[in-house]
Structure 1
Amino acid sequence: MSARAPRPTRADFRLFRPIQTRWSDNDAYGHVNNVVYYEWFDTAVNAWLVENGFLDIVNGDVINLVVETSCSYFESISYPEQVDIGIAVERLGTSSVTYTLGAFRRGEETAAALGRFTHVAVVRATQRPTPIAPPLRAALEGLMRPG
């Protein structure tokens, strides 16, 4: 068993995406359910990819598949809070990228949760890995985690 990840701060991330919690995000315990964090992380990364022209989810020849995920929770978030999802690149391979993601309460310096997931670029028709396109690679290099 590995040691728990240290609690990150906003300085550990390169960009932030706003997320508004929804009434349905809360579970029976009155806080955002753990699976919702994964939705936030996936939404933040894919929105960035789409908005910057790196992903065409309907017609693109190359898509990204999530092959690994994890999340450490430090404190609860509840509806109706606003959340900022911090994004940084932890590792950049030939056809894969591992993102580090932080869920921050609006205005807070330390993350309430720390996620990570790995995307693999694949050819949509074959589902086989393909190298990350040079323009996307350059943009991902700009998101490399500090330090």
Structure 2
Amino acid sequence: MARAHFAYFHPFEIRFSEVDMHGHVFNGRYLDFFDTAVTGFLVARGCDEILSVDGAGNGVDMADAAAPVYFVRRAGVEFLAPVRFRQRVEVAVGIARMGRSSLSFALEVHGEGEDAPRACGEIVWVAVDRATGRSAALPASLRDKLAPALLPQDAAPASGGA
């Protein structure tokens, strides 16, 4: 995916606690970066209801009993180039797909100012009905907020995976 297709980038500076004995970011930390970046993306898009927070970011029970909850169905990372201690990176977030009940977030880790990603991945969420535990349709209000962030379907991923 071209960096230009993404409208949201979440910055990070790599801390010493995030690197492994080989001197690069421990592989499990990428999912932490993705989770943090997705949250920032949703806040930036005004999707406070999906995060159960109010407009000021205060944790509250805003959940309408009829509103779905969201669970991670799948998460994956493809590692393309190392990221090291004190390096500044940006995680690009966009919507790869919106199904009836699922959201697929496309993610790429870029070194600050770099066009080529160092890692790419996908997180898939599924909306679930609170009462039945079965999949539920994505609310129209959420679709409206996320539709502008849909990535072009004909754009190729950064590499063969994700």
Aligned partner of 1:109 in structure 2 is 115
Residues 69, 127 of structure 2: 8 Å contact kept: yes
2:35 aligned to which of 30, 35, 42: 42
The unaligned stretches of length 5 or more in structure 2 are 54-59, 155-162
2:70 pairs with 1:56: no
Query: What is the distance in 2 between the residues matched to 1:85 and 1:28?
Result: 23
CA RMSD between the two structures:
1.9
Query: What is the distance in 2 between the residues matched to 1:50 and 1:125?
Result: 26
1:121 and 1:143, CA in 2 relative to 1: closer, same or farther beyond 3 A? Answer: same
2:83 pairs with 1:77: yes
Residues 17, 44 of structure 1: 8 Å contact kept: yes
Aligned partner of 1:17 in structure 2 is 10
1:123 and 1:19, CA in 2 relative to 1: closer, same or farther beyond 3 A? Answer: farther
Q: CA deviation at 1:124?
A: 4.3
| Structure-1-length-normalised TM-score | 0.84
The unaligned stretches of length 5 or more in structure 1 are 1-7
Residues 126, 135 of structure 2: 8 Å contact kept: yes
Aligned partner of 1:4 in structure 2 is none
Residues 50, 56 of structure 1: 8 Å contact kept: no
Query: What is the distance in 2 between the residues matched to 1:127 and 1:79?
Result: 42
Aligned partner of 2:126 in structure 1 is 120
| Structure-2-length-normalised TM-score | 0.77
1:94 and 1:82, CA in 2 relative to 1: closer, same or farther beyond 3 A? Answer: same
User: Aligned letter for 2:103?
Assistant: V
Aligned partner of 1:135 in structure 2 is 141
1:131 and 1:10, CA in 2 relative to 1: closer, same or farther beyond 3 A? Answer: same
User: Aligned letter for 1:40?
Assistant: F
Percent sequence identity is 32
Q: CA deviation at 1:107?
A: 1.0
| Corresponding residue SS for 1:45 | helix
Aligned partner of 1:90 in structure 2 is 96
1:83 and 1:127, CA in 2 relative to 1: closer, same or farther beyond 3 A? Answer: farther
Q: Whose Rg is larger? A: 2
